[in-house]
A and B are shown apart, each in its own frame.
Chain A
Amino acid sequence: MLELKNIVFDVAVEEGSSKTKRIIDNISLTIPDDKFVVVTGPNGGGKSTLAKLIMGIETPTSGQILFDGTDVTEMSITDRAKLGIGYGFQQPSRFKGMKVKKLLEIAAGKRLPMLACNEYLSKVGLCSANYLTREVDKSLSGGELKRIEIATLLAADPKLAIYDEPEAGIDLWSFDRLTQTFEAVYKQGNGHSIIIISHQERIIELADDIVCLRDGQIEAAGPAEEIIPQLGLSRKENDYCSFTQPPDLHLTTISTTC
């Protein structure tokens, strides 16, 4: 269980300045085990910052973060990772010379057989085994990199996984595969929780709970069925059908069955 208590995060308006700007404004939030939570809201609302505060990449100006009852507010990123918090970056890093397989193994904390690696990759719609020996560098497209980032979090399998806009840069077939994966992995009731930062209706619909952040504050939070109507999503039936059967696709090169 994750508990955020009165989290405030201020940053200097500019470097060296004593004037500050409030990015996260007194947020309190509890995420019990076995929950699928979607955090949504306008760009600049503080979603990524909140995730970084939970992971320990940023430290709150004030407030307290508890994970399974342990106060992790001052804890390092590494120690939080070891406790079971994981974060998939909105903008993943590239590593010259590091093979995809190696990154997955670091994430899993152990050597992985090829088969296991391929399974993680296929869960994010990367169907070719060639990816394992590719380097996590400029040679990967943004969408490929993003999917590998998601695969590392699947391999790490933390007790609390935070995905930051996993849909960004991902084509619609892979996105389909991805939503299935999120659903399958996190609806199995093994005590793990997932927080997905997303604007995607399809992901929002998977949520147990929804948190809407705006200007660093919680604008709305609660069970999905209560919040979705307030989000004003222009939802139509069969909105996504056109995505799953697109007209002119290279269906031979993009396998959707892996």
Chain B
Amino acid sequence: MSVDLSPIDADLLKTLTNVHGIPEGAYNIRKDGELLTRHSSANIEIATKTDYPGIDIRIKDGTKGERVYIPVIVSKAGIKDVVYNTFYIGDNCDVDIIAGCGIHNDSHQASEHDGIHTFHIGKNSRVKYIERHYGEGSGTGDRILNPVTTVYQDENSFCEMEMTQIRGVTSTVRDTDAELGAGAKLVLTEKLLTDGDQKATSNMNIRLIGENSNVQIISRSVAQDNSVQIFNPLVAGEAACHGHVQCDAIIMGKAVVKAIPGIEAAHEDAQLVHEAAIGKIAGDQIIKLMTLGLTEEEAEQEILDDFLN
């Protein structure tokens, strides 16, 4: 399908998908609150929801090595877009899902996108979910993203979620919930960068319901200038299970980071661990890179880039 994209839209899209232009395979691209273009594949069907704005994505049992792209771009100001995307992933699948939202806002009006994503992951399936959030533009208008992600994992499924807020998002409240069945494993990596007066809150509520379910939460964040970040990851173990929560933040300028990792065990064989560390960039790291010829600014940038890689 040929679609005309403005240079701004094309750049936003590339930031989200890492591919030039319209991706291959199954995709649904949403722009300024409307469908821009869509393509289903033999195994992956994308259909408009009948009750709410949004789409249902159905992936057939046994679908392997396929990808779905569902990026959202917002380049018109004054839009508040709420969209419900529900994934029904069959049994024995192995798929990658690439999502995300890029906002370009040159105006004084706010632009907001709230993506409500629900995942039903079938038995023995592997899902890799990559979500990038990004804001840009010269306007004073807020760029707001409030994603809600809910994951239901059936027996022995494996889900890897990598959620990154790259830059330029004025305000975000992220809610991520999951329920894991027996033998299911979830690896959730969240990376956030805030600067200026931005605010970010990330709430997580992961329930380990089945025997031998396992979650690993890795949060890496950088808070610069006057920005504020709050983390509230909670892991509840209701069976013999493993949970590990690790929050790691670099703080700069007058930024504030609060990390309140919580664990709740309601089973004697629930093994839950949390760690949190907040600190500035160590002076000796910068000095080391300077001895290799980097300037102080280059050294700092390098350390941040690697930390968030």
Contact = CB atoms under 8 A, between A and B. Distances in A.
B290 A77 contact: yes
Given A106-B294, A152-B292, A77 B287 contact: yes
B293 interface: yes
Contacts of B307: 95-97
A93 B293 contact: no
B289, B293, B296, B303 — which one has the most chain A CB atoms within 10 A of its CB? B293
Contacts of A87: 291
A186 interface: no
Interface stretch (A40-48, A78-86, A242-250): A78-86
A98 interface: yes
A67 to B, nearest CB: 14
Interface in B271-309: 282, 284-285, 287-296, 302-303, 306-309
Interface in A87-113: 87, 89, 92-99, 102, 106-107, 109
Contacts of A107: 292
B292 A93 contact: no
A106 B292 contact: yes
Contact of A57 (B248, B287, B293, B302): B287
B244 to A, nearest CB: 15
A152 B248 CA distance: 26
Of listed A76, A93, A152, residue having the most chain B CB within 10 A: A93
A13 B248 CA distance: 35
Nearest to A109: B293
Contacts, number: 57
Contacts of B126: none
Contacts of A212: none
Contacts of B303: 95, 98
Contacts of A94: 285
Interface in B211-231: 220
Given A97-B308, A102-B306, A106-B302, A92 B288 contact: yes
Give the dominant DSSP class at B's interface: helix
A97 B303 CA distance: 8
Nearest to B289: A106
A55 B293 CA distance: 11
Nearest to A105: B292
Range for the number of chain B residues in contact with chain A? 20 to 34
Given A78-B296, A102-B306, A106-B302, A96 B248 contact: yes
A50 interface: no
A152 B309 CA distance: 21
Contacts of B284: 89, 93
Contacts of A86: 291-292
A78 B306 contact: no
A93 to B, nearest CB: 5
Contacts of B285: 93-95
B290 A78 contact: yes
Interface string B56-84: 00000000000000000000000000000
Interface in B88-130: none
Contacts of A152: 292
Contacts of B290: 76-78, 81
A90 to B, nearest CB: 11
Interface string B30-66: 0000000000000000000000000000000000000
A98 B294 CA distance: 15
Nearest to A104: B292
A124 interface: no
Given A78-B295, A78-B296, A82-B293, A89 B306 contact: no
A77 B284 CA distance: 12
B293 A81 contact: yes
B282 A93 contact: yes
B220 A97 contact: yes
A156 interface: yes
B309 A97 contact: yes
Nearest to A136: B306
Interface string A125-151: 000000000000000000000000000
Given A78-B294, A81-B292, A86-B292, 11 more contacts: A55-B291, A78-B290, A78-B295, A82-B293, A89-B284, A93-B282, A95-B303, A95-B306, A106-B289, A109-B292, A156-B293
Interface of B: 220, 248, 282, 284-285, 287-296, 302-303, 306-309
19 contacts: A77-B291, A78-B293, A78-B294, A78-B296, A92-B288, A93-B282, A93-B287, A93-B288, A95-B285, A96-B248, A97-B220, A97-B307, A98-B303, A99-B306, A106-B294, A107-B292, A109-B293, A152-B292, A156-B293
